[in-house]
């Protein structure tokens, strides 16, 4: 295996941030928003609270899945991933059993179209995520997509509980540093909170429908001035997409440029 786990941050009981460093090779150039593969042999142990494998594997079979990169495209030392545990899954129970210093297979190519490459520099950007879907946006922000111009950026991040809002400290810091950046977190499982949550409790699609971005920016996001990125839960992606289409936003495709960019993990 060609890489080493150099840092693990436990965000919540089922969410971890992993830093993975290449061992003896150079990370390729990539564009923020792209993803890479991680793989472990089936012989590696599953974390204790996972359910058993749903199929049998040869011990040396590599189990591979793809994950959005959360680190800056400028970082050449390591790649960072924000991953949630699927207790019944094949790879994540093995990932969650890893310790710092353990080896892992990291794909040598990062790919994907979920990037800002086709977004005009003067267009505003709304980044909508549920759960670990915030990872590609963290990479974009760390790679300085705010830039020096007048572009406004908003992150709408939905999670079950406050402790599931990974990277919230970094996003709050950025909001304090820039009046062109807005962070709009929301949680839906309020009854489970240990202390009172005074923030938003709506679904991200309901926040959008209520015009949270327009209120924050003082400018209505339209297809002419804004690109929208959707990442994470397929249900959220679907209902956001339906609403945006009604407002004349169009899905971005290779041959047909549009303003809605989608990375659905379903
Ligand atoms: C472009 C992209 C980027 C992504 N980025 C991220 C990221 O940044 N962070 C993140 O957390 N995730 C990300 N994902 C999701 C990730 O790739 C995996 O799908 C996820 O981690 C689950 O992997 P797993 O091997 O643990 O589960 P899987 O083995 O893939 O299983 C998923 C579910 O399906 C069930 N299942 C699958 N096959 C069977 C079967 N044959 N029989 C019975 N049940 C079955 C499992 O029990 C489980 O409930 C991304 C996905 C894509 C496509």
For ligand 1, atom 37: residue with the closest CA? 89
Q: What's the pLDDT tens digit per position in 70-82?
A: 999 999 999 999 9
Query: In the structure, which protein residues have their CB atom closer than 6 angstroms to any atom of ligand 1?
Result: 35, 54-55, 65-68, 81-84, 86, 88-92, 132, 135, 263, 265
Mean local confidence (pLDDT), 211-215: 97
pLDDT at 228: 98
Q: Which atom of ligand 1 is nearest to the CA of 112?
A: 1
In which band, very low, low, confident or very high, does the pLDDT at 259 lie, cut at 50, 70 and 90? very high
Angle between helices 168-177 and 135-142 (to 10 degrees): 40
Mean local confidence (pLDDT), 26-55: 96
Catalogue the E-assigned strands of the chain.
Answer: 3-12, 15-22, 35-41, 62-68, 79-84, 103-106, 124-130, 153-159, 181-187, 226-232, 260-264
**Nearest-angstrom CA–CA distance, 16 and 46:** 15
Left, alpha or beta for 233 (phi > 0: left; psi -120 to 50: alpha)?
A: beta
**Nearest-angstrom CA–CA distance, 220 and 198:** 26
In which band, very low, low, confident or very high, does the pLDDT at 61 lie, cut at 50, 70 and 90? very high
Is 90 exceeded by the pLDDT of residue 119? yes
For residue 93, count CB atoms less than 10 angstroms from its CB and return exposed for 0-12, middle for 13-18, buried for 19 or more.
buried
In which band, very low, low, confident or very high, does the pLDDT at 101 lie, cut at 50, 70 and 90? very high
* pTM of the complete model: 0.96
Query: What percent of the chain lies above the pLDDT cut of 70?
Result: 100
Is 80 exceeded by the pLDDT of residue 148? no
Provide the mean pLDDT of the chain: 96
Mean local confidence (pLDDT), 52-61: 94
Question: Which mutation among 88, 113, 237 tests ligand 1's pocket best, with the greatest number of atoms within 8 A of CB?
Answer: 88
Q: What's the pLDDT tens digit per position in 1-19?
A: 999 999 999 999 999 999 9
């Amino acid at each position: 295996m060609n890489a080493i786990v150099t840092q693990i941050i436990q965000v919540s009981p089922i969410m971890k941030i992993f830093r993975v460093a290449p061992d003896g090779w150079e990370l390729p150039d990539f564009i923020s928003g792209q993803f890479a593969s991680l793989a472990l042999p089936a012989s590696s142990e599953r974390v204790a609270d996972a359910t058993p494998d749903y199929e049998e594997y040869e011990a040396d079979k590599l189990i591979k899945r793809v994950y959005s990169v959360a680190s800056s495209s400028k970082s050449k030392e390591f790649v960072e991933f924000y991953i949630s545990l699927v207790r019944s899954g094949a790879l994540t129970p093995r990932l969650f059993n890893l310790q710092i210093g353990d080896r892992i297979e990291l794909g040598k190519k990062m790919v994907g179209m979920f990037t800002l490459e086709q977004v005009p520099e003067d267009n505003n950007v709304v980044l909508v995520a549920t759960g670990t879907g915030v990872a590609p946006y963290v990479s974009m922000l760390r790679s300085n997509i705010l830039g020096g111009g007048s572009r406004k950026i908003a992150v709408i991040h939905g999670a079950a509980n406050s402790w599931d809002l990974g990277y919230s400290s970094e996003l709050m810091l950025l909001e304090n540093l820039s009046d062109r950046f807005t962070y709009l977190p929301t949680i839906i499982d309020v009854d489970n909170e240990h202390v009172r949550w005074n923030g938003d409790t709506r679904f991200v699609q309901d926040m959008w429908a209520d015009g949270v971005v327009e209120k924050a920016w003082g400018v209505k996001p339209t297809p002419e001035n804004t690109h929208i990125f959707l990442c994470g839960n397929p249900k959220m992606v679907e209902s956001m997409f339906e609403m945006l289409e009604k407002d004349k936003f169009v899905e971005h495709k290779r041959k047909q440029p549009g303003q809605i960019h989608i990375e659905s993990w379903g």
